[in-house]
Amino acid sequence: MKKFFSALFVLGIVVLAASPASSHSVFVGSNPEPDSVIKQMPAEFRLQFNEDLLVIGEDDPNQLKVRDKNGAIVSAASEVAGPFIFAKALSQEFVSGKYDVDYRIVSGDGHVVEGSYSFDYQIEGESAATTAAVKQSPAPKEIDGSKSEHSEHGSFIHVHSDHIAMAVIALIAIGSWFLYRKINDY
């Protein structure tokens, strides 16, 4: 019996120590930057994350879409290169106003991360009053910014299932150790 509990305890420690680090990709930066006002539209929209994004063979679950103030997509299909996701601009003729950037990426650990931000484009020589009037017009958004972090990724249990499993294994190992100690003290 003593060998069984010792083996169970060691197995629990090994499982906990060998678990891979689990983290979500974190947005690091972009071109254009969130909430910026730009006077020249880039030829390519680019977002950077803190780790390589997941691409499985030819399947790329990552998406980057840029929409103008009317909701029309102004970016081509996105591509991934390491921690970067980018999409070329479909045109070189843009109208002044608010642009929404929506992204859905998959972390190296398989977790889906969604987000969005906006920036303003102001044609050189156009007055700030024109841009202010444009800012007041509502722009449709596909990703609702009022969602909590967990509702964007799925349910709490789905997001943290691996963490819950590690906690259960640790509790079983600790409980087994205490049971072993209690049995041997009698």
- Mean per-residue pLDDT of the chain: 77
Q: In what order do the strands lie in the sheet with 44-49?
A: 27-31, 44-49, 84-88, 79-81
pLDDT of 50 above 50: yes
Instruction: DSSP letter for 26, please.
Output: -
**What pTM did the predictor assign?**
0.58
Predicted confidence (pLDDT) per residue in 80-106, tens digit? 998 999 999 998 788 999 999 999 999
Model pLDDT, residue 126: 65
pLDDT of 39 above 80: yes
Q: In what order do the strands lie in the sheet with 97-106?
A: 37-38, 112-121, 97-106, 63-67
Give the separation between CA 183 and CA 164, rounded to whole angstroms.
28
Residue 63 forms beta bridges with which residues?
Answer: 104
Q: What is the mean pLDDT of residues 15-43?
A: 80
pLDDT of 151 above 50: no
Structure tokens that stand for 52 in this block = 């390589």
For residue 62, count other CB atoms closer than 10 A to its CB. Answer: 21
pLDDT of 155 above 80: no
Model pLDDT, residue 108: 81
| DSSP β-ladder status, 63-67 and 97-106 | antiparallel
Phi then psi for 81, rounded to 5 degrees?
A: -140, 100
